Structure 1
Amino acid sequence: MANLGITCYMFLVGLEMDITTPKMGKTALSVAIAGTVLPAFGGMGLYYLALDPVKSKRPATGGFFWAVALTVTSFPNLARILSEFKLLYTDLGKTALTSAVVTDIASWVVLVILLSTVNGREEFYTLIATVLFIVISWFVSRPILCRMIKKIGARNRSSVEGRYNEMHVCCILSVVLLHGIITEACGIHSMFGAFMFGLMIPGGELGTKIMDKIEEYVVGILMPPFFLLTGLRTNIVSLATGVSLWVVILVIVVAFFVKIVATFLVCLFLNCPPRDGLSLGVLMNTKGVLAIIVLNEGRNLKALDQQTFSWMIVAILLMTSMVAPMLYLTHKPSRSLKLLYHRNLERIKVDQELRVLACVHSSRNLSGLISLLRMSNATRRSSITVYAVHLVELTGRASAMLIFHDKNKTNDVSGQDHSREKAEAEQIVSAFESLQKNHTEATIQVQLLTAVSPYATMHRDVINFAVDKLVTAILIPFHKKPDAFGRWTDENLQHKQVTDHLLENAPCSIGILVDRGLTSPLYLESSQTDRIHKCRIIMLFLEGPDSREALAYAWRMACAPGVFLTVLRFVPEKDATDENNNGGGEDLGDDHDDSEVFSAMFEKEKQLLLDDDYINEFRFRTMNDESITYVEKKVSSGDRIISIMRSSYNDFNLYIVGRGHGMQSPLTQGLSDWNDCPELGLLGETLGSAEFLSAASVLVMQQSAPTPNVSKKSINSGTNKGAFENSFGKSAGPLVNHRKIDDLN
């Protein structure tokens, strides 16, 4: 039973690995070599120096099993640890996974050679038979198997049960046992044949179905007898028999740290940050079932006695149990999230590079997001780098959590390769690749990846990737879709959960797109060269950082060909302002002390000054731009805003508005009834509702909330009206408007 469990488990390990996917960089290759060579010599050195097998009459070959056990890295355990710590999308996680694949393959090659030379049979026969088996399996059987799987999948594409059924799974398991029998006949353990066959099966729906069918059975039923056997073979009492206790401690400590030190030194040599090098060493020290299997094979062949077996088992258990706590202590990202807290559109120049992370749940989100990116004014001076992330729910395979798409080949989406899902993934990849190809001067660069994670923690992956790539804005589609009558349909609460978490935690700006058929003028221009289709955009400015962020994006879009922008600023009437101030003071006075009331009033005044400064700068810099119109209207409530929008501003293609989180304004009075979608804000939800009677898309922007220390600094030294006047020599008063001023009293 234990041997059957090992065989099936190694098949699953091979099934999880994809040795053709990782791209080998200099750091990953160096770490893999160091993590293989130095621990191997360390293991043999510990065995021979500490135990002296000549005097103790222990088998000399035991040192080789120690070496392999210290060399191997448990790929499944490593992938799960990286997923738990949200490191899969970082350079550290990619380097660790790639190095682990190379290290494991090298370790298994050494183990095969070792088993073929110490199993008591003819070494030459065993080695030649094993090499022939590997060559025939990989270069002959694997292509045939891939063609058969592809043909069966194509034949059953429209089947209700999926492209592969239980009969196909049973056939695969039969071949697993056949490969085990063949490798046993060659003179090595059956687990190697099962592992080899697992590597041969291409990732996709078949692999996922196999994992779903047998993983719980193998781990829960077949593997416990193996662990029971390992526990019976381990004798803690015999650890210090015949040797000093200090020798035992020294062996375990050196075995624990040899791989960490080797990886750390290589990272220092490659000029990696010391903390990252230490974290990578801890990750590469991840052990698991694979190392225990190696030690059990040494015990079966009597290369290890009870004491040497127990020593290394204790060391392996300590390594595995200490990875997560040590990683928690050692890993702190080189870039703090605080460095990103003011990475927003308001603070970058219009002609500066824009880095955008575009989140896509399904192919239905493509049209609006790509049209929005096309209108974002990508030029040589203001290029745009788009990180397109396809968000997919995690369904079980450890190695299927991160896919960076290679433009030269088609990638399957994380093993969830049902025909519909694969077609959707290919459509997403194709759409973003077309976005980049249509900009021949490389003004838009696209990097594609698929993020596979549980919905509850998916926002962490997005945030970590945004931190790693210094993203300025995250664009995400609204979780509801409007029908032909403008009513919301197809609500996805899991997508809403991701959006809510991003709004609460993202360190950069967030844009939520309510798509109602947004089409960019640049897209139509490429197919209709005789004319440029006009795209009319209106930006509604109320107050606060979110409105300034919305204006910053609209300002960038206004520079694109075929885009006409109207900025409509609503200013509260004096009576409404006085009423709001009086009411606000009374409310705050009930629950807060005077200092908090004063602080809130001071913050509000500061935001109003920043609003005026940014509006003045915008008007001054765009005063000669015929495609931009600025309008001011005085209103007393949110109802008046909606009335004005319905009567005079209902024929636009796109509305851009700030979310207005954390702001209380008299301008939104009367809109409190619209509170079904708080992620859009009061005004954004109103514009997107069916009652507004408009078919235009809506973009809701939220600026990242500043840290308290930084916000205080901005009060004292940030932009203000006097600074703007000194910078430009004049204040952009109301009459600098290029088109129209319309005050409603």
Structure 2
Amino acid sequence: MLLQNPSACYNLTVKNPNQVWKASDVYGSELPSLAFQTCWTLFVTRIFVIIARPLHIPSLIAEVIAGFVLSTDLLGEIPIMFRLLFPIRGILNVEVLSSLGIIFYAFLTGLQMNLDNVLRAQKKAFSIAISGVIIPMVMAAIIYTLHRNTYDVQTDETVESDPLKACLLWSICLTVTGFPLLTEILASLKLLYTELGRSALDAAIVSDSFSWLLFMLVIPFILSEGAGAIYTVMGTIAFITLCIFVVRPVITPIIERKTDREEWNDHQLLFVLMGTVMCAYITDLLGSGIVGAFVFGLILPHGRFTGLMMSALDDVASGVLAPLVFAGSGMRMDLTKAFSHRNWAFSVMIVVLLCTPKILSTLVATFAYGIPIRDGLGLGVLMSTKGVMALIMLNIGWDRQILTVSSYSILVTAVVIMTIASSVVTNTAYKPRHQFKMNKMRTIQNSRLDTELRILACVHNNRHASSMVKILECFHASRVSPLYVGALYLVELTSRGAFVLLDHMSQHVSHTGTQYHSQSQAELEGITNTFQELAESNDAVRVETFNVLSSYKTIHEDIYNTANEKHTNLILLPFHKQVNTEGSLEMLNRAYKDINYNVMKEPPCSVGIFIDRGVFSLSKTNCRILMIFVGGPDDREALAIAWRMATYPGVYLSLVRILLVDEASYQVDKEVALKAKGILSMALDSSKQKELDDEYVNLFRLKAMHNEDSITYSEKEVYVGEDIPELLNELDQGDDYHLYIVGQGKGRNSVLFSGLMEWCDCPELGAIGDILASNSFGSKSSVLIVQQYGYDGTMSGNAVQKHPNDQETKEDGSHTLINHV
């Protein structure tokens, strides 16, 4: 792995009286050296991975760069240090360990890939993949010919002795798109669940399948001559056929039965790994060991068993063995030989040209489907992502001396640049969090009643889904006022990025009705059924179900992107507490609170947190709603929601406006308010807000309360902070309300509410919402906390506030809807 000369030999002198070992003392000499080299390599690669993470550079590329730093090109300039860290006698042992890492990595790749997804791929994905094979192969032949004609170095090394084999290897390497690595990049950039991410993954999984097919059919002709290559291909095809039609029907029922009964343990999973090694050994006799490992992973059942295997193997294969493989690729690089010659500028040009075939091929395919050039370029850059397959091919070319040091170094350099570019360029060109800041305001208040109301309902389990259905039913969708519901199932990513692949595949499977086996997939099916019942009960409701697998620390960005892509008016979030058997709210998951807090910081639309106390059904015809109005954009948005719900017969709405008088009306100094942190940091202009409040409440009283006995309005005066809890208790005891609707209250620069906020356990609910959600309040009513997006237009200054019944909403011309793929 560490030598620059592929023709190096090893001379072993055996002097060991112990007949158990047929070589030198393994424990005394080989094992310490192997452990030291492994630990040192892993230590350096982890440093580079940590450095690359903020730049969204994949760990594989960081490990290749770390390997180059450890190579003789750099570290070799200090001979004593290099011999100390990488003694020659230990190189062969590291090579064996790296080969084992390649086998298990290929097994994991096959385990994650589902051929059903390839067969169900859309025509556009097939077109991009096929174009990504034909055009790069033609361009690779031209680029390699140019390389041979321009390469000149002042050493004994020249170009490859067999140009045909080298050209084939260049061609196949350029056709590869690293599906697992692309998924890691998209997940890191929070684009995995966008239209761009889904298009890229659909095309990448087809392209990756073609790459494996080319690898099985073409690599034997590169490694062997004439009849030997034909026998290798025929033997490989026979092995694959045997695995699919003989081995798979035998082992699949056994594995599924043991999985359903939860009978697997580490010892039994070890036998599966032994099957991996055995299949790799069989195909290694035929020509390539990784084919057997890949096929064995491909034929195993997917779903819950896949999760078990990846949990058991992924840490070792991806965390220990794979870095040795990728770092070894970097150690083999010798940029001095590749670029320190009189025609070095041509070598640089070759690297640049190697980065273009996938982009051009994708542009050709997307142009035929009428996709804009900008989006085609973005997709082409993503399709240029290389991965494990490309490095495996290059390592084979190195080991079999098909590629010279210079060609190998140029190709690996191009692979690294292409993969880094796919991450950096995409991150620069597609920034969803900056896109939705320029979108027109998506609020309930500014949306017309005769347009489709679009709501993104986020859930963590099926109980949350049932709660969301309750509040969604209160909107009483009709053909005049239809409702779109995007149900977003949030799943925590607790393992490596490989699980993201399974998640993407399960979304495809969900459309086919295939039975799930993993816990998260079973939960998703239950959530889907719960929301589908809502759609079936009302033909004016349209439902789509998605699942997002991400770290809880950054999952709010996936929620942002989904809401932005679906153009939603409201994001509904479940409260982090749920009702127990005694009727009190108890903590469900602290992480849910942090998610809600993060979502409310910079959302692309209005946000609501629903606290379901589970006592009453909100869809009953005598549903009683209490809306508490203090003032500000959040309260106006809450009133708009209550107004929509009250338009349905049988719904009783009571609007109580709290008037702050005397000491309660005192305001916090603006400079002090602006120094505050968190979601309440922006102090709004009180006089302007008071004017907008009066206008909207008067509009509500004029239009909603006209000849409507089901809607009442009252005003309550508050003088000090203690009056708020007393008033709420009085209102709760007066009538049996099913639902409270209140504004979160951001931007209030009132001394009264600033004091109440200091005692809040849940600041994301606001002062009044926190009181209503506390167990000491004793209410049995559900609560909806509302935060309006965009400060209702007051930040830009020119929005005209109107009820959804009004036929037009004026906006500042600076607000422009930007919709990207």
TM-score, scaled to structure 2 = 0.77
After superposition, residues 170-209 of structure 1 pair within 5 angstroms as 170-185=270-285, 187-209=286-308
Structure 1 CA distance, aligned partners of 2:266 and 2:683? 68
2:444–2:640 Cα contact (<8 Å) kept? yes
Structure 2 CA distance, aligned partners of 1:98 and 1:216? 27
Equivalent residues, number:
686
1:637–1:669 Cα contact (<8 Å) kept? no
RMSD over aligned Cα atoms:
3.1
Aligned residue in 1 for 2:744 = 659
Aligned residue in 2 for 1:685 = 770
- What letter corresponds to residue 89 of structure 1 in structure 2? Y
Aligned residue in 2 for 1:732 = none
Shift in alpha-carbon separation, 1:65–1:151, aligned structure 2, 3 A:
same
CA offset at residue 63 of structure 1? Answer: 1.0
Aligned residue in 2 for 1:98 = 202
Structure 1 CA distance, aligned partners of 2:683 and 2:337? 73
Secondary structure of 1:60's counterpart equals helix
CA offset at residue 515 of structure 1? Answer: 0.6
Aligned residue in 2 for 1:471 = 568
Structure 1 CA distance, aligned partners of 2:402 and 2:537? 64
Task: Give a deviation string over 1:42-68, Cα, whole Å, max 9, x none.
Answer: 112212343269997533121111111
The one of 641, 644, 647 equivalent to 1:559 is 647
Structure 1 CA distance, aligned partners of 2:674 and 2:386? 55
Secondary structure of 2:657's counterpart equals strand
1:675–1:682 Cα contact (<8 Å) kept? yes
1:263–1:281 Cα contact (<8 Å) kept? yes
2:621–2:649 Cα contact (<8 Å) kept? no
Aligned residue in 2 for 1:247 = 346
- What letter corresponds to residue 343 of structure 1 in structure 2? R
Structure 2 CA distance, aligned partners of 1:229 and 1:638? 68
Shift in alpha-carbon separation, 1:140–1:632, aligned structure 2, 3 A:
farther
CA offset at residue 659 of structure 1? Answer: 0.9
- What letter corresponds to residue 171 of structure 1 in structure 2? F
- What letter corresponds to residue 594 of structure 2 in structure 1? Q
Shift in alpha-carbon separation, 1:566–1:707, aligned structure 2, 3 A:
closer
Q: Which moved more, 1:391-400 or 1:271-280?
A: 271-280
Structure 1 CA distance, aligned partners of 2:301 and 2:607? 38
The one of 255, 270, 282 equivalent to 1:149 is 255
The runs of 5 or more residues in structure 1 that have no matched partner are: 157-162, 523-531, 594-599, 728-745
2:618–2:739 Cα contact (<8 Å) kept? no
- What letter corresponds to residue 179 of structure 1 in structure 2? C
- What letter corresponds to residue 767 of structure 2 in structure 1? L
Aligned residue in 2 for 1:126 = 232
The one of 563, 572, 590 equivalent to 2:660 is 572
Does residue 539 (structure 1) correspond to residue 665 (structure 2)? The answer is: no
TM-score, scaled to structure 1 = 0.85
Secondary structure of 1:336's counterpart equals helix
CA offset at residue 243 of structure 1? Answer: 7.7
Secondary structure of 1:427's counterpart equals helix
Q: Which moved more, 1:61-70 or 1:560-569?
A: 560-569
CA offset at residue 537 of structure 1? Answer: 1.1
The runs of 5 or more residues in structure 2 that have no matched partner are: 1-95, 152-157, 676-681, 810-821
1:538–1:654 Cα contact (<8 Å) kept? yes
Task: Give a deviation string over 1:435-476, Cα, whole Å, max 9, x none.
Answer: 21222x2x1111111111101001000001111111110000
Structure 1 CA distance, aligned partners of 2:334 and 2:134? 30
Does residue 77 (structure 1) correspond to residue 181 (structure 2)? The answer is: yes
Aligned residue in 2 for 1:612 = 694
Shift in alpha-carbon separation, 1:456–1:341, aligned structure 2, 3 A:
farther
Does residue 165 (structure 1) correspond to residue 165 (structure 2)? The answer is: no
CA offset at residue 319 of structure 1? Answer: 2.0
- What letter corresponds to residue 164 of structure 1 in structure 2? W
Aligned residue in 1 for 2:709 = 626
The one of 286, 292, 308 equivalent to 2:391 is 292
Shift in alpha-carbon separation, 1:398–1:154, aligned structure 2, 3 A:
closer
Structure 1 CA distance, aligned partners of 2:277 and 2:683? 75
Aligned residue in 2 for 1:7 = 103
Task: Give a deviation string over 1:187-222, Cα, whole Å, max 9, x none.
Answer: 230101111122222333332232232223234543
Aligned residue in 2 for 1:643 = 726
Aligned residue in 1 for 2:334 = 235
Structure 2 CA distance, aligned partners of 1:459 and 1:470? 16
Shift in alpha-carbon separation, 1:549–1:221, aligned structure 2, 3 A:
closer
Aligned residue in 1 for 2:614 = 517
Secondary structure of 2:302's counterpart equals coil
Task: Give a deviation string over 1:532-562, Cα, whole Å, max 9, x none.
Answer: 6421111111111111111111111122343
1:659–1:702 Cα contact (<8 Å) kept? yes
Shift in alpha-carbon separation, 1:65–1:533, aligned structure 2, 3 A:
same
Shift in alpha-carbon separation, 1:629–1:111, aligned structure 2, 3 A:
same
Structure 2 CA distance, aligned partners of 1:309 and 1:347? 60
Shift in alpha-carbon separation, 1:484–1:602, aligned structure 2, 3 A:
closer
After superposition, residues 240-639 of structure 1 pair within 5 angstroms as 244-333=343-432, 336-340=435-439, 342-396=441-495, 397-402=499-504, 403-404=506-507, 406-410=510-514, 412=516, 417-418=518-519, 421-439=520-538, 441=539, 443-484=540-581, 487-517=584-614, 519-520=616-617, 522=619, 533-573=621-661, 576=662, 579-580=663-664, 583-584=666-667, 587-588=669-670, 603-622=685-704, 623-639=706-722
After superposition, residues 1-40 of structure 1 pair within 5 angstroms as 1=96, 2-21=98-117, 24-40=121-137
2:433–2:561 Cα contact (<8 Å) kept? no
Shift in alpha-carbon separation, 1:113–1:467, aligned structure 2, 3 A:
same
Identity of paired residues, percent? 34
Task: Give a deviation string over 1:66-119, Cα, whole Å, max 9, x none.
Answer: 111111111221111111110001011111111111111101111111123332
CA offset at residue 170 of structure 1? Answer: 0.7
- What letter corresponds to residue 507 of structure 2 in structure 1? F
Secondary structure of 1:539's counterpart equals strand
Secondary structure of 1:567's counterpart equals strand
Task: Give a deviation string over 1:511-541, Cα, whole Å, max 9, x none.
Answer: 101110154464xxxxxxxxx6421111111
CA offset at residue 149 of structure 1? Answer: 1.9
Shift in alpha-carbon separation, 1:31–1:637, aligned structure 2, 3 A:
farther
Aligned residue in 2 for 1:731 = none
Shift in alpha-carbon separation, 1:608–1:46, aligned structure 2, 3 A:
same
Structure 2 CA distance, aligned partners of 1:361 and 1:334? 23
Q: Which moved more, 1:491-500 or 1:295-304?
A: 295-304
Secondary structure of 1:662's counterpart equals coil
Structure 2 CA distance, aligned partners of 1:238 and 1:55? 12
